[in-house]
Amino acid sequence: MNYIAINISRLEHLLKLYRLSKEDILLQLNRNRKRLLTEDDIFASEIQLSHLKVFDSVFNKGINYYLDPKVPTESEEESIFFRKDQFNAELSLGAKQRVTQFEEEKITLTTLAKLSNLDLRRKLKIYTTADNPQDAAIELRKTLFPGKKKSIKDFLKAFINNLSEQNIIVYEFVDTHNKREKANINGFFLSPNIIVLKRIQKSFRREVFTLAHELGHYLLNSEEIDEIYEDFNENITISSIEKWCNDFAYYFLAGEHDKKISSISNINTQTDYQDEYITNLTFEIPLSKIAIYTRLVVTKRISQQTYNIIRDRIRQDFLEYEDEQQRKKERDKELEIKHEGRNPIPIISPLVKRTLQSALFEGVINEAEFCKRLKINPEKIETYLQ
């Protein structure tokens, strides 16, 4: 058997970073294994290389990380997990993996910016929860709101582009169907200027709302990892910061249409809960129907009971639509009708591209590293240098 000497303190450091116990990680490592690994198999000064690879499949640090004799120290700069004790979400392993991934991206990009003399200092002022979120939204719409676009995805891209002009970096990640550990969060903000979004292919409007919500966290300079809900439950109490971010996101996306939403009345079975009117509103603004109804229950224009009926109906309509799409796929398969399918490609912030371009032009990185970080084929590099 091929054994290798390792620095156990580095394994223990990763467990602290991910907030996992030895029992937690062993449960994870032993999924679908016939021969179960024990604590002695993993937490020893010398372990089998194959076992180390299994351990690293969770953390993706590379084998050399565990060979380094230097004892790692807990650093607030390294991770939000060392900066904060609690979050607005119960994080899955997949979520922790994503947070750690983008903490590392943040550190790398910040270093590259400094080495290539690129200024990423904050441009927008810092707000507090004492500031009116509607006033903040009205002010920031002047520079950040993209205006009406052909599609909600185009709106999202334009929103990300506008944020890059204010030195705010937005990353988007995709949890593919075959990814073993999926993130149970929609987005998070990492100080000083990183917003991360989970691609929600079936609901770009929800992703747009998440981005506006996380922009709220940036404005308050309040780091958070959120499990953001579009719907509302009066029995759940949220913090003043979360309320401010939700209010800001709504006013930012609704704009002047807030007057129309605030004046909606007669939301009952006789008017079909104003479904047609609210559906037409969604063609004008990047808010979903559920987001608009949520605003109405938050402002007590409808009761929680009425809201629950509407929410359940919207969910049922979506499930029926999904079922119909699945049946169509099955019919096409029977008829041997082929559809080209590929995983969604994350949107790249212009600020990420600009930082990597500067690093390349200044000789801080080479072309191979440039292509690797943008996940592009070397043949396409000229396209990304313009």
pLDDT tens, position by position, 37-66: 999 999 998 999 999 999 999 999 999 999
Q: How far apart are CA 264 and CA 297, in angstroms?
A: 12
Question: Of all residues in the chain, what percent are helix, strand and coil, respectively (each to 5)?
Answer: 55, 5, 40
Place of tokens 């479904």: 275
Contact between residue 223 and residue 83 where contact means Cβ atoms under 8 Å apart:
yes
Whether residue 230 is predicted with pLDDT greater than 80 in this model: the reply is no
Residues 6+ apart with CB under 8 A from 25: 15, 42, 55, 58
The pLDDT score that the predictor gives to residue 309 is: 94
Q: How far apart are CA 35 and CA 58, in angstroms?
A: 18
pTM, two decimals, is 0.92
Q: How far does Cα 29 stand from its chain's mean position?
A: 26
The pLDDT score that the predictor gives to residue 344 is: 86
The pLDDT score that the predictor gives to residue 319 is: 87
What confidence category does residue 229 fall into, taking pLDDT thresholds of 50, 70 and 90?
low
pLDDT tens digits along 242-291: 999 999 999 999 999 999 999 999 999 999 999 999 999 999 999 999 99
What confidence category does residue 343 fall into, taking pLDDT thresholds of 50, 70 and 90?
confident
CA distances from 32 to 26, 50, 227, 245 (A): 12, 16, 29, 41
The pLDDT score that the predictor gives to residue 201 is: 82
The pLDDT score that the predictor gives to residue 62 is: 94
